[in-house]
């Protein structure tokens, strides 16, 4: 009996830290902020569309935010995604789309058109360029306010100009902060969302359903978010969170080698996180 009791006390310490393909990784206990795993956790890397976590966080932090406010889709947003061959929510120029819908379009299909619309709406200035610059300034201020020293944004969507970077630790902290917002939590755990927008003529358009790019929502029990990212420089990134037995583990992998591999890496880190979360 004694031997069994001794063994029973060991499992938390006995879990072996996994090997992941991603160049950077970080995991923490979301409620205690205790670090559970690190791999190059403070090395700055391109973040791809995981940048959009901060885009959403900044929008949701606006005072007197009206999620039902309607935003008219401009040709500039459409031209931008075409010019950059960027992921998009396929928003239609002239349609009126609510801020809530734009947030779904931002986080599920990773729409850079939705990101542009939100930056243009919630930045301040008399020109679109000024508003976008102002919005990116808010993103950087939010990072500073969280005490993050290894994060810099020069874009609203991750299509950076050479100065858009973060680290696995910093991105995890941004996501953990964003997850305190109930609207954010609802959006990032949604697998599919169909937006009904208002056309130029006032009729209702039912958009093609947006599917969440986060495969963990379907393949890892307890997953509650958060956001994928990819790009030529960023490779394959994933900020992830899951809850099991009342514990929430949150983390990030940066610069993995494929969509499947980033998910495999994340699952390994989640399993390890739950085994060591205490």
pLDDT tens column, 13-57: 568 999 999 999 999 999 999 999 999 999 999 999 999 999 999
> Which pLDDT score is estimated for 14?
63
The residue from 110, 155, 176, 230 that is catalytic is 110
> Which pLDDT score is estimated for 106?
98
Would you say residue 188 has pLDDT above 90? Answer: yes
> What mean pLDDT is reported for the chain?
95
Residue reference for tokens 């986080």: 107
Asked about 52 being catalytic, the answer comes back as yes
Asked about 34 being catalytic, the answer comes back as no
Would you say residue 5 has pLDDT above 70? Answer: no
> Which pLDDT score is estimated for 13?
53
- Compute the distance between CA of residue 195 and CA of residue 184 in angstroms, rounded to an integer: 17
**133: which residues sit within 8 A by CB, 6+ positions away?**
123, 125
> Which pLDDT score is estimated for 33?
96
Mean pLDDT of 77-87: 97
β-bridge pairing 35-39 and 24-29: antiparallel
Would you say residue 8 has pLDDT above 50? Answer: no
Would you say residue 160 has pLDDT above 90? Answer: no
Asked about 133 being catalytic, the answer comes back as no
> Which pLDDT score is estimated for 15?
80
Task: Say which range, 7-16, 128-137, 150-159, has the weakest mean pLDDT.
Answer: 7-16
Task: Look up residue 88 and give its two tokens.
Answer: 């998009």
> Which pLDDT score is estimated for 6?
44
pLDDT band at 232 (very low <50, low <70, confident <90, very high): very high
pLDDT band at 4 (very low <50, low <70, confident <90, very high): very low
Task: Look up residue 130 and give its two tokens.
Answer: 């000024």
Mean pLDDT of 89-106: 98
The residue from 39, 46, 49, 173 that is catalytic is 49
Q: Could you tell me if 193 and 183 are in contact, meaning their C-beta atoms sit under 8 angstroms apart?
A: no
Percent of the chain clearing pLDDT 70 (strictly above): 95
Please return the burial class of 83, using the count of CB atoms within 10 Å of its CB with bins 0-12, 13-18 and 19+: exposed
Would you say residue 251 has pLDDT above 90? Answer: yes
Would you say residue 229 has pLDDT above 90? Answer: yes
- Compute the distance between CA of residue 99 and CA of residue 58 in angstroms, rounded to an integer: 13
Mean pLDDT of 156-185: 96
């Amino acid at each position: 009996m004694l031997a069994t009791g001794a063994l029973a006390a060991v499992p938390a310490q006995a879990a072996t830290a996994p090997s992941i393909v991603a160049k950077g990784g970080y995991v923490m206990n979301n409620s205690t902020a205790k670090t559970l795993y690190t791999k190059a956790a403070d090395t700055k890397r391109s973040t791809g569309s995981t940048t959009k976590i901060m885009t959403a966080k900044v929008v949701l932090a606006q005072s007197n935010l009206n999620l039902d406010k309607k935003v008219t889709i401009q040709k500039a947003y459409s031209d931008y995604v075409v010019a950059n061959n960027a992921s998009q929510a396929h928003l239609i120029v002239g349609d009126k789309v609510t801020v809530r819908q734009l947030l779904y379009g931002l986080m599920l299909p990773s729409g850079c058109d939705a990101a542009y619309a939100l930056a243009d709406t919630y930045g301040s200035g008399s020109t679109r360029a000024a508003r976008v610059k102002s919005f990116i300034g808010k993103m950087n201020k939010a990072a500073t306010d969280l005490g993050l020293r290894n994060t810099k944004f020069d874009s609203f969507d991750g299509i950076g100009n050479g100065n858009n970077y973060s680290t696995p630790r910093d991105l995890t902290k941004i996501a953990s902060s964003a997850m305190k917002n109930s609207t954010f939590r609802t959006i990032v755990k949604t697998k599919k969302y169909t937006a009904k927008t208002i056309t130029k003529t006032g009729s209702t358009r039912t958009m093609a359903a947006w599917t969440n790019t986060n495969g963990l929502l379907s393949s890892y029990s307890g997953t509650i978010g958060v956001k994928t990212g990819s790009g030529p420089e960023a490779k394959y990134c994933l900020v992830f969170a899951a809850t099991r037995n009342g514990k929430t583990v949150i983390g990030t992998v940066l610069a993995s080698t494929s969509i499947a591999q980033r998910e495999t890496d994340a699952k390994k880190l989640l399993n390890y996180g739950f085994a060591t979360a205490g």
